[in-house]
């Protein structure tokens, strides 16, 4: 995630800002420009970083989901949903205040996911989201036929931490859930249709079509196999080849976005940004060479503040080979898809 500046006064901005706290100008994020822009007059809109407030406005979910993304106005039509919010197929009812609060938190994480997918130029056609509250129905976070379902209870810090401890997970976040589930989506859209990718997938991960329920039952009755740390990025990845792929895909997204953010603040080389194309056989090695010292430094900084490691994972050679394959699959589509897809 980039370091944003107010085009009007130069104040540093967070990705979520809809108002500059320095000059009080109204702001909105443009996926097309990958920038936060000022809503100004027609005359101001001739300047870089400004858009005409008569033509653009903030998403209809500005208050409901705290969404600061820009949409183009349509004469005579009510305020519209932005590209991110329009991808949410199902959300809580308007009278469910607790679920709506969790919905806003989930949408914020989803917007970060979608920006990274756009930066990587990954296609999102057919991708949709059901954000549901388990307070009134049983909800299973997962992916099916392009629809990512998320239990909004994951937005509650206490609930999520209890599950993290119960499932012996070193890391559990909303953004992590989205990155994992979108990995399943890209298996079906990018890997399965490609015979070459599918053959490599089977060599590295195994047979995606193995009985999933049997694998699930085995995992929760026996746990991860001994020595799993040498071949998998997490214990959950050991359950089934599909989960191994999704976990590895999520970690690839963790690494790329964190490197991009670090580079924006001068904590990593400029080559770590999404803007610098990572092409050729050496590209993945370069990414890992930048990631390992950065993750070590971040872990040590967290410990200095009395926190657990920021990235509590080890990347053995077998995991790096799997992640190299993810990089290949992701990189193959970077030039073919526009950033606004």
Residues 290 and 228 in one domain: yes
**Per-residue pLDDT at 337:** 39
Please list the residues that pair with 50 across neighbouring strands: 38
Residues 77 and 106 in one domain: no
CB neighbours of residue 163 within 10 Å = 15
**Per-residue pLDDT at 276:** 74
**Per-residue pLDDT at 162:** 53
Burial of 244 (0-12, 13-18, 19+ CB in 10 A): buried
- Rounded percentage of the chain residues whose pLDDT exceeds 90: 76
**Per-residue pLDDT at 137:** 77
Residues 200 and 311 in one domain: yes
Within-domain flag for 339: no
* CA quadruple 60, 63, 66, 69: dihedral, nearest 10: 30
**Per-residue pLDDT at 237:** 95
Residue-wise pLDDT tens digits, 28-69: 999 999 999 999 999 999 999 999 999 999 999 999 999 999
Strands 147-151 and 56-58: unpaired
In 120-173, which residue ranges form alpha helices assigned H by DSSP?
157-166
Going through 92-141 in order, the beta strands assigned E by DSSP cover 128-132
Within-domain flag for 337: no
CB neighbours of residue 179 within 10 Å = 24
Of 311 and 137, the structure prediction assigns the larger pLDDT to: 311
Mean pLDDT of the region 281-289 = 89
Domain span at residue 176 reads 83-193
Last residue of a domain, one of 55, 81, 107: 81
Mean pLDDT of the region 263-276 = 89
CB neighbours of residue 233 within 10 Å = 25
Residues 185 and 301 in one domain: no
Residues 325 and 207 in one domain: yes
Last residue of a domain, one of 81, 106, 141: 81
Residue-wise pLDDT tens digits, 208-250: 999 999 999 999 899 899 999 999 999 999 999 999 999 999 9
- Using an 8 Å Cβ cutoff, are 53 and 40 in contact? yes
Assess whether pLDDT exceeds 50 at residue 341. no
Determine which of 34-38, 44-48, 139-143, 189-193 has the lowest per-residue pLDDT on average. 139-143
Q: What is the mean pLDDT of the chain?
A: 90
Residues 119 and 214 in one domain: no
**Per-residue pLDDT at 139:** 85
Burial of 297 (0-12, 13-18, 19+ CB in 10 A): middle
Mean pLDDT of the region 89-113 = 93
**Per-residue pLDDT at 3:** 86
Nearest to 117 by CA among 301, 289, 229, 252: 252
Q: What's CA 248's distance to the chain center, in Å?
A: 13
**Per-residue pLDDT at 136:** 72
**Per-residue pLDDT at 330:** 93
Last residue of a domain, one of 159, 193, 227: 193
How far is it, in rounded angstroms, from Cα 324 to Cα 321?
Answer: 5
Residues 317 and 213 in one domain: yes
pTM of the model: 0.92
Of 141 and 241, the structure prediction assigns the larger pLDDT to: 241
Residue-wise pLDDT tens digits, 253-269: 999 999 999 999 999 99
198: left (phi over 0), alpha (psi -120 to 50) or beta: alpha
How far is it, in rounded angstroms, from Cα 220 to Cα 217?
Answer: 5
């Amino acid at each position: 995630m980039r370091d944003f500046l107010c085009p009007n006064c130069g104040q540093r901005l967070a990705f979520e800002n809809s108002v500059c706290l320095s000059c009080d100008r109204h702001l909105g994020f443009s996926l097309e420009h990958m920038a936060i822009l000022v809503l100004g007059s027609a005359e101001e809109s001739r300047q870089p970083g400004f858009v005409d407030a008569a033509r653009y406005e903030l998403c209809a979910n500005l208050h409901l989901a705290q969404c600061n993304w820009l949409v183009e106005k349509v004469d005579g039509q009510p305020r519209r949903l932005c590209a991110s919010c329009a991808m949410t197929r199902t959300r809580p009812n308007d009278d469910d205040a607790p679920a709506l609060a969790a919905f806003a938190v989930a949408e914020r994480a989803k917007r970060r996911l979608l920006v990274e997918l756009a930066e990587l130029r990954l296609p999102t056609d057919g991708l949709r989201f059901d954000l549901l509250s388990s307070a009134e129905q049983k909800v299973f976070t997962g992916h099916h036929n392009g629809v990512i379902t998320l239990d909004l209870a994951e937005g509650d810090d206490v609930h999520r931490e209890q599950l993290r401890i119960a499932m012996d997970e070193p890391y559990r976040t909303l953004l992590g859930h989205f990155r994992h589930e979108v990995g399943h989506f890209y298996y079906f859209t990018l890997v399965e249709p490609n015979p070459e990718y599918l053959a490599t997938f089977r060599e590295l991960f195994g047979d995606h079509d193995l009985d999933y329920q049997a694998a699930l039952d085995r995992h929760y009755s026996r746990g991860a196999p001994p020595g799993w740390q040498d071949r998998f990025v997490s214990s959950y990845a050991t359950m089934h080849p599909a989960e191994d792929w999704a976990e590895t895909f999520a970690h690839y997204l963790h690494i790329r976005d964190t490197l991009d953010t670090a580079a924006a603040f001068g904590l990593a080389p400029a080559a770590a940004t999404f803007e610098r194309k990572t092409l050729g056989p050496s590209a993945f090695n370069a990414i890992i060479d930048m990631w390992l010292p950065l993750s070590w430094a971040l872990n040590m900084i967290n410990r200095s503040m009395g926190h657990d490691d920021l990235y509590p994972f080890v990347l053995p050679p077998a995991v790096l080979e799997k992640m190299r394959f993810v990089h290949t699959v992701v990189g193959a589509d970077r030039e073919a898809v526009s950033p606004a897809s």
